[in-house]
Amino acid sequence: MMDTALLNSARALDAKHVVHPHTNLRTQPDKKPLMIMKGDGVFVVDDEGNRYLEAAAGLWCASLGFGNARLAKVAQEMMTEIGYYHIFRGASNTPTAQLSAQLSSIAPEGFNHVLLQCSGSEANDTAIKLVWYYWNAKGQPQRRKLISRDQSYHGTSTITSCLTGKPRFHQGYGLPFDGFLYTAMPYYYRLAKPGETEEEYSSRLAAELEEMIIAEGPETIAAFWAEPVLGSGGAIVPPKGYYEKIQAVLAKYDILLVADEVICGFGRTGNMWGSETYGMKPDMITCAKALSAAMQPISAVLIGDRVYEGMKEQSDRFGSFTHGYTYAGHPVAAAVALETLKIYEEMDVVGHVKSLEPQFLAGFEALKDHPLVGDAGGVGLIGALEIVADKETKAMHDPSLNVMTIFENAAMERGLITRIIVNRVALSPPQIITAAEVEDMFARLRAALDDTLKAIAG
């Protein structure tokens, strides 16, 4: 039973005191917050008892749905046993040691060291420092510049905001700092030239990257950062040959590759890592979100042997590795993450996603006949459709029509939560979703599109 007085008081307190990311802080207090009260598998329930199929897995993260008694038990037991200890100056705890070993064993070959952190932003922030630490160790301190892609998302700490290739994350903060470069995003549907094949488009992007590197001075470039599938950039899968061609350029100039697997890790793309799906050979991998099924704030930097050698040299030179957070290697978070990895093994998360992928992709394919849908597609259990005003020209709707808001509300009315990115509707449901629920998700999505079409026509 919901306690109405408590709820009303919470709403009032929210309006008065809570700073909500990604809202207009002037108008938000007048809006009714979406109070999510309960999770039930892939569904969440709000304060009015409305049930939503949460097809965005929250923020691409709730891989096991929105509650898990087994993880709760592990957290409670660990909190009772040893509720906190750090890993500074050689201290350790069992779950941290086991989790690091387990991550090394499921990582691609050559990732034998793990640095635990608390969020995706922290993992990328730390990986940036490690890139610089490495090049300093190797006597190339001038390698400072970092290349990411337009519309990429790597976090919102001061430095990762710079790496994030979305100008609106820089506006108002005096960012980015110098030394952050943005190359084109691989967005075949909208950015390929007429008649260009995927391979040709990939070759052009690789050539553009090489031009940028040469113009900047290859000896000044430290690393290239990439999400295997651009998540917040629109759930955009790379065109054929993209990573192969990009990596050839990076190898030519000895530029490190960091794979941001914060969304793509742990089965999302139909392999344990998005890097495997696309033949990426990164020097470091950052991961978070599904690492603990989003039930504890924990992330990790998986460090390739090449980078680790440099770190060892550097820490030896200065006497210690001077980097760490109070909560890195937190026993409770590590225990929950370790148990999450056990659950993935038992449920065969990769096999499960792979088995649903054909149905998931067919769902998108079928929607291409809808009058509002331009592009549609994905990989594994991540994908998106693009809402357009004209299928031929790919023109978007006039922003004043608020089509995406109309769609989002229609989807909510149909009991479906999606992720809207400009004119794209992304789906990345919890990895525990069943075939019946995938069918249900696409039925709700089509109904919401129909409702939107009716609303804008009439």
Ligand X SMILES: Cc1ncc(COP(=O)(O)O)c(C=O)c1O
Query: Does 403 sit near ligand X (CB under 6 A)?
Result: no
Query: Does 227 sit near ligand X (CB under 6 A)?
Result: yes
- Looking at this protein, which amino acid is placed at residue 71? L
Nearer to ligand X, 121 or 296 (CB): 121
Nearer to ligand X, 136 or 148 (CB): 148
How many amino acids of this chain bind ligand X (CB under 6 A)?
16
Give the residue among 381, 377, 401 at the shortest CA–CA distance from 389: 401
Nearer to ligand X, 264 or 396 (CB): 264
CB burial readout 302-327, b (16+ within 10 A) else e: bbbeebbebbeebeeeeeeeeebbeb
Query: Does 379 sit near ligand X (CB under 6 A)?
Result: no
Among 45, 59, 97, 191, binds ligand X (CB under 6 A): 59
Residue with tokens 């790597």: 154
- Reported as half-sphere exposure (CB side, CA atoms, 13 A), residue 167 has a value of 0
Dihedral sign for Cα 18, 19, 24, 25, please: positive
Query: Does 231 sit near ligand X (CB under 6 A)?
Result: yes
> Which range in 46-54, 91-99, 113-121, 249-257 contacts ligand X by CB under 6 A?
113-121
Smallest separation, CB 382 to ligand X (Å): 11
Among 39, 58, 95, 155, binds ligand X (CB under 6 A): 155
Nearer to ligand X, 164 or 423 (CB): 164
> Which range in 153-161, 311-319, 329-337, 364-372 contacts ligand X by CB under 6 A?
153-161
Nearer to ligand X, 418 or 452 (CB): 418
Nearer to ligand X, 155 or 329 (CB): 155
Query: Does 302 sit near ligand X (CB under 6 A)?
Result: no
Among 149, 154, 268, 330, binds ligand X (CB under 6 A): 154
Smallest separation, CB 254 to ligand X (Å): 25
Residue with tokens 């929950």: 336
Question: Is residue 189 within 8 Å of 267, Cβ to Cβ?
Answer: no
- Binding pattern to ligand X, positions 257-286, x when CB under 6 A? ---x-xx-----------------------
Residues that bind ligand X (CB under 6 A): 59-60, 119-121, 124, 153-155, 227, 231-232, 260, 262-263, 288
